[in-house]
């Protein structure tokens, strides 16, 4: 689970680091599945409730904050990658349309 790894990294290193290939994959999958911004918040709430139930009495505001921060950093990185992929797709579509238009003009 990437969020669990993110929580551990945040605690140990003070930041969440995801390698580029994993980030590209996560961004691509989220984009293909039609995930949008509000979905991330719903998942975050579900994750926090699940972890809270799982750890029971050990749950604290500090733990909630750490899980929230880890999730927020991971979600922000995924969303940034989704934005990059969308921009690249728009650019590719524009270039393809321009090439097709040029072929029609010369035909």
Distance CA 4, CA 99 (A): 46
Please say if the pLDDT value at position 79 is more than 60: yes
Question: What's the pLDDT tens digit per position in 22-73?
Answer: 889 999 999 999 999 999 999 999 999 999 999 999 999 999 998 998 899 8
Rounded CA separation 58/35 (Å): 32
In angstroms, rounded to a whole number, what is the distance separating the alpha carbons of residues 8 and 14? 9
With a threshold of 0.85, does the pTM exceed it?
no
Identify the pLDDT of residue 101.
Answer: 64
pLDDT above 70 for 81 = yes
In this structure, which topology does domain 2-106 adopt according to CATH? Globin-like (1.10.490)
Q: What is the pLDDT of residues 9-27, one digit of tens each?
A: 666 777 777 778 888 999 9
Under DSSP, the state recorded for 56 is: G
d(CA 18, CA 32): 20
Answer whether 82's CB lies under 8 Å from 27's CB.
yes
Give the pLDDT mean for 78-89: 91
Quote the CA–CA distance of 68 and 60 in Å, as a whole number.
12
Domain boundaries in the chain? 2-106
For residue 30 the two structure tokens come to 């989220």
Contact between residue 67 and residue 10 where contact means Cβ atoms under 8 Å apart: no
């Amino acid at each position: 689970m990437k969020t669990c790894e993110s929580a551990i990294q945040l605690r140990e290193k003070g930041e969440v680091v995801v390698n580029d290939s994993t980030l590209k994959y996560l961004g691509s999958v989220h984009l293909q599945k039609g995930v949008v911004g509000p979905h991330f918040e719903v998942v975050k709430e579900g994750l926090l409730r699940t972890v809270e139930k799982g750890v029971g009495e050990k749950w604290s505001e500090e733990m909630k904050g750490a899980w929230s921060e880890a999730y927020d950093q991971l979600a922000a990185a995924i969303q940034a990658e989704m934005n990059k992929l969308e921009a690249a797709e728009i650019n590719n579509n524009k270039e393809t349309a321009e090439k097709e238009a040029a072929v029609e003009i010369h035909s």
